[in-house]
Amino acid sequence: MADMLGIGVSGLMAYQRSLQTVSQNVANANTEGYSRQRVELGTQLPVFYGGSYLGSGVQVKSVERVYDDFLINQVRTYSASASYASVYEGNASQIDGILADPEIGMGPVINDFFSELQAVANDPAAIPPRQSMFTQAETLVDRFAYINQRMEDTRGQLNQQMTSVVSEINGYAEAIAGMNRSIVLAPGNNPPNDLLDQRDTLLNNLSEKIAISTVEQDNGAINVFFGKGQLLVVNLDANVLRVDRSEFDVRDINISMATGGGNWNDISSQISGGQLGALSDFRTQVLTETQNSLGALAIGFADTFNAQQRLGQDLNGKLGIDFFNVPGLEILPSVNNDTSAPFNAQVTTALTDSSKLTGDEYLFSYSSATGYSITRQSDGFSEAIGPTLNYDPAANIPSAAFQDYGFSLSLASGAPQDGDTFLIRPGRRGSQDLSMNISSPAEIAAAAPVRTSVNILSNTGSGVISPGVVTDASNFQGSPLPPLASDIVMQYDGANINVVSGPAPWNGLSFAYNDGAEVTALPGLKFTVSGVLSAGPPPDEFRFESNTGGVGDNRNALLLSDLQNQRLMSDGTASYTDYYGGVVADVGILTRQAQLSSSAQDNLLAQAVNSRDALSGVNLDEEAANLLKFQQAYQAASQVIVAANSMFQSLLSALRS
C-alpha cells in the first residue's frame, strides 16, 4: 500500500511535468525558433521482492527538445542565400528602374539631342534651332549628372546599410558568445533547451546578415566562421568587425576585422552570402560597373563629338572649338603611399582612345623588384610594365603585345616607392564632370571651314568637284584669320591635277586625275573630281577656298549628326545607343538573375523551414490530445492514491473491529 502510494505520487509528479511541458508548448506555439519539448518518462528501478521484480513507479528522465541539427543547419544556409538574393535584387532593381525609365534614362535624351542637331542641319543660319540644340545638349549633360547623382546616392545608402549590417553582425556575434557562456555554465546534466533554441535563433539571424558555418565544441559552445575560415565567435568570445574608409577613396568603405594587438585586417574580399555579401557584390557588379560604364559613355561621347566639331566652322566663321569639356580620367593614390619628400610619386593619366574605355578599374602599383605593373580588377589580369613608366598606347605600351585600355600613364613628379599603389577608374567621374565648353548656340560648328569651286567662267571641260570633307583641321589658320591664307588653286595638265598656288602644306602638291576617285593627296582634305577635264589652254581649274560667310553650310552638322550611327564605342563595335543599351542590358540581366534566384531561394528556405517545423514545430491539435492524455493519466494516478488510501482505511477498520 505504501508502494502504491509511492507509485501513485510518482505518476502525479510525472504527469504534472508532462502537463507543464504541454502548456509550455502551447504557450510557445508562435515563438520564433522554439522547438517543441517532450518529457521522456521511464520506469523507476524495480524492487526485488519475493523472487520477482516489482515496479516502483515512473520517473521523468529528461525534458528533451525535438530537433535535428541537419534541418537547423539547412534553414541557416538557406536564410543566408535567400537574404542575399533578396537584398541584391532590391538594390539592383533600383538601378534597373533608373536606367530604362523613359523619363530618366539616357536613351531618349541622346535621341532628342541628335534630332535637334538635324534641325540645325536643316537651317544652319537660323538661331532658334541652334538654341534648341544647345539647350538639348545642356539637358544631356544634366541627365548624365543626374543619373550619376542617383548612383552616388545609392552608394551613400549602401555605405550606411553596410555599416548598420556590420554593427548588427557584431551584436549577434556578441550575443552568441554570451549564449555560449550561459550554455557552458548551465547546471545539471539535462540540456538547457530554451537557451539552445535561443542560440539557434541568433545563429539564424546572423546567417541572414552573412553566410556562416558552425562547429560545436565538446563543452557545448559553438564556434562561428564566415568567409574562408574567418573566426567570428570562438568559444566564449566574439571577434569584432569594423567599417573602414577605402585606402583610395573616402567615399567607399571596406570591412576589417581585429586581429589582436590593435591590428586590423581588411577582410572585404572574404565576405560572401547574406545581406553583407549581397551589398558588397551589388556594389562591384552593378553599381560601380554601371557608374563607370556610363561615365565611359560620357567621355567617349564628348571626345568623339568634339573631334568632329573641331573640323567645322561656327556661325561666326571661326574654326569649331570643343563642344564639351571632356571629363578627366580618375586616378587615386593609396593613402599608404610614401608621400615623404623626395618620393611622393604623382602619376597622371590621359585619354588616348575613348573607344577603348570600359567600366573596368585598374590597380597600378610599383615594386622595387619588378617595377610598375597594371592589373585589371574585373578579372585580375596583370601586366608588368617594367622599371620605367612609358605607358602610352599611341607609342605601343610599352610594346604592342600589351592591352590598350585607352589611356596613358606618366609620372608627373616624385619617385615611386616599393608598394605604392594607385587605383585607376577611367569612367568614374565621366558622368559627373561632363560639361559644356561652348557658351553660345552660334558656336555650334555646322559649316565646314573650306568649300570647293569650279572655275565656271573659264573651264571648258565638264569636270565637277565634290563639296569636300575636312579630315584634319590642324593645317588651317586660327581665328580670326580665314582658314586658308589664299585659295588652293588646282589645275589639270592632261594627266595630273597640280596645286599651282596656295598656302603650305598644299602648294606644289600633285596627284593623278582619276575620274570620280576619292582624292586624299591634300593633307586634311578629302574630295572627288569627276567628269571630262580639259587641259586647255586655259586648263580646267578647281579651288578650295575659305568658307567665308558660309552660314548656310550644313556639311559639318550632317557629319556631327552621323556620329549617332557610327560605331564609336566598345572598340569600334557599338554606337552610343548600342553601348548604353549594353549597360542597361547588363543591369537588367543581373537583376533578372537576382529575381529568379531570390524566388528560388525563398522557396528553398520555405521548404527548409517547413521541414524543420514538421519536426520541431508545435501542433496545437497534437498538444490538445496530449493535454487530454496526460490529464487522464494524472486523474488515474490520483485514483491510485485514493485506492491506496481506501485500502489502508479498510485495513484499519478491520483491525478496529
Partner 1 sequence: MRVSTQMMQRQAVTSILERQSDLSKTQQQLASGRKILVPSDDPSGTTQVLAMQQQLAQSAQYQGNIDRLTSRLEIEETVLSSAGNTLQRIRELAVQGLNDSNGQQNRMAIASEVWQRLGELFDLANSKDGSGEYLFSGFQSQEQPFVDLGAGAYQYNGDQGQRRLQISPTRQIQSSDSGSEIFENLNSVAAGGKQNIFKTIYDFATALEGNNPAGNILTDIDVAMDKTFEVRAEIGARINAVEAQTQINEQFDVQIQSIMSGIQDLDYAEAVGRLNLELAGLQASQQAFQRIQNLSLFNFL
Of 515-554, which residues contact partner 1 (CB under 8 A)? 545, 547-554
**Calpha distance 367→374 (Å, rounded):** 11
Question: 2, 369, 401, 457: which one contacts partner 1 (CB under 8 A)?
Answer: 457
Q: Is 600 in the site for partner 1 (CB under 8 A)?
A: no
Within residues 160-199, the interface with partner 1 by CB under 8 A covers none
Kindly give, in sequence order, each residue whose CB lies less than 8 Å from that of residue 196, ignoring residues fewer than 6 positions away: 65, 183
Q: Is 393 in the site for partner 1 (CB under 8 A)?
A: no
**Calpha distance 209→211 (Å, rounded):** 7
Q: Is 581 in the site for partner 1 (CB under 8 A)?
A: yes
Give the dihedral sign, CA 90/95/99/105: positive
> Which one, 349 or 554, has the nearer CB to partner 1?
554
Q: Is 613 in the site for partner 1 (CB under 8 A)?
A: yes
Question: 42, 46, 55, 108: which one contacts partner 1 (CB under 8 A)?
Answer: 108
> Which one, 270 or 534, has the nearer CB to partner 1?
534
Q: Is 121 in the site for partner 1 (CB under 8 A)?
A: yes
Question: 159, 272, 595, 645: which one contacts partner 1 (CB under 8 A)?
Answer: 595
| Segment contacting partner 1 by CB under 8 A, of 224-232, 260-268, 390-398, 612-620 | 612-620
Report residue 224 as a C-alpha cell.
Answer: 562561428
Q: Is 469 in the site for partner 1 (CB under 8 A)?
A: no
> Within the chain, what is the greatest distance between any pair of CA atoms?
170
Residue spans of alpha helices (H) in 188-267 = 193-209
Report residue 529 as a C-alpha cell.
Answer: 573630281
Minimum distance, C-beta of residue 628 to partner 1, in the bound complex (Å): 7
Q: Is 588 in the site for partner 1 (CB under 8 A)?
A: yes
Give, in degrees to the nearest 5, the angle at Cα 327 between 320 and 134. Answer: 45
Neighbours of 102 (CB within 10 A): 7
Question: 96, 197, 420, 541: which one contacts partner 1 (CB under 8 A)?
Answer: 96
| Segment contacting partner 1 by CB under 8 A, of 223-231, 265-273, 342-350, 559-567 | 559-567
Minimum distance, C-beta of residue 589 to partner 1, in the bound complex (Å): 5
**Calpha distance 343→413 (Å, rounded):** 9
Q: Is 556 in the site for partner 1 (CB under 8 A)?
A: no
Within residues 13-72, the interface with partner 1 by CB under 8 A covers 29-30, 36
Asked if residue 41 lies in contact with residue 60, where contact means CB atoms within 8 angstroms, the answer is yes
Minimum distance, C-beta of residue 89 to partner 1, in the bound complex (Å): 9
Is 589 in a helix, a strand, or coil?
Answer: helix
Minimum distance, C-beta of residue 457 to partner 1, in the bound complex (Å): 5
Cα–Cα distances (Å) from 385 to 43, 412, 483, in that order, read: 82, 17, 43
3-state secondary structure 533-565: CCCCCCCCEEEEEECCCCCCCCHHHHHHHHHHH
Report residue 32 as a C-alpha cell.
Answer: 520564433
Minimum distance, C-beta of residue 545 to partner 1, in the bound complex (Å): 8
Question: 182, 617, 643, 645: which one contacts partner 1 (CB under 8 A)?
Answer: 617
Q: Is 458 in the site for partner 1 (CB under 8 A)?
A: yes
Question: 215, 400, 456, 654: which one contacts partner 1 (CB under 8 A)?
Answer: 456
Minimum distance, C-beta of residue 588 to partner 1, in the bound complex (Å): 3
| Segment contacting partner 1 by CB under 8 A, of 348-356, 436-444, 451-459, 482-490 | 451-459
Helix (H) or strand (E) holding 292: helix 289-309
**Calpha distance 137→324 (Å, rounded):** 9
Question: 486, 578, 642, 650: which one contacts partner 1 (CB under 8 A)?
Answer: 578
Asked if residue 212 lies in contact with residue 232, where contact means CB atoms within 8 angstroms, the answer is yes
> Which one, 161 or 599, has the nearer CB to partner 1?
599
> Which one, 137 or 165, has the nearer CB to partner 1?
137
> Which one, 6 or 588, has the nearer CB to partner 1?
588
| Segment contacting partner 1 by CB under 8 A, of 377-385, 477-485, 502-510, 591-599 | 591-599
Dihedral of CA atoms 576, 582, 587, 591 in degrees, nearest 10, equals 140
**Calpha distance 42→368 (Å, rounded):** 76
**Calpha distance 378→147 (Å, rounded):** 23
**Calpha distance 442→420 (Å, rounded):** 48
> Which one, 118 or 182, has the nearer CB to partner 1?
118
